[in-house]
Amino acid sequence: MTARLRTILCLTVLVLGTVQVVQAFTRSLIPYEINGRVLTSVYVSDSALQLHEINVNGRRYVVDNDAVADIEVGARLHKDRWSATLVVDGDEQIRLPVGVEAFQFGFLTLISLVAVTALTAASKRP
């Protein structure tokens, strides 16, 4: 196997894994600035877990946090960008942990990179 093909395989695994980690991380709501009223709050079915979608001032957020899913329609939310705390109606605070899923995808990406590297290196041997 050529070095170029090996590099392409490793980069492909890295990109796909990174996309999954980013998607799982955004479900924590940590990267977003939120300031407004909850218009809707619904459950969204997913193959692996129960996801929740909240609509704040017309912007939809998909979360995997049950505490966020329990927020009532009409509640006022405030959260600074990159903050791990969501303030509800000015007094209740909800901690926004990074989901276990983000760490799982990160670990699987690393394992996949090691496996691809080992398998492609093994194919070089006579």
pLDDT digits (tens, 9 = 90+) for 74-104: 999 999 999 999 999 999 999 988 877 788 8
Could you tell me which of 31, 30, 79, 27 has the C-alpha nearest to residue 57?
79
DSSP string across 17-84: HHHHHHHHHHTT-TT--EEEEEEEEEEEE-SSSEEEEEEETTEEEEE--HHHHTPPTT-EEEE-TT-S
pLDDT attached to residue 72: 92
pLDDT attached to residue 42: 87
- Domain residue limits, the chain: 1-27+99-126, 29-97
CB crowding 11-41: b at 16 or more within 10 Å, else e: eebeeebeebbeebbbbbbbebebeeebeeb
**Are the C-beta atoms of 68 and 56 separated by less than 8 Å?**
no
pLDDT attached to residue 47: 61
Residue 112 per-residue DSSP state: H
Task: Report the chain (126 residues): mean pLDDT per 10 consecutive residues.
Answer: 82 89 85 93 74 91 86 94 93 86 86 85 60
pLDDT attached to residue 61: 92
Q: What is the pTM (predicted TM-score) of this model?
A: 0.70
Our measurement of the distance from residue 109's CA atom to the centroid of its chain's CA atoms, rounded to an integer in Å, reads 14
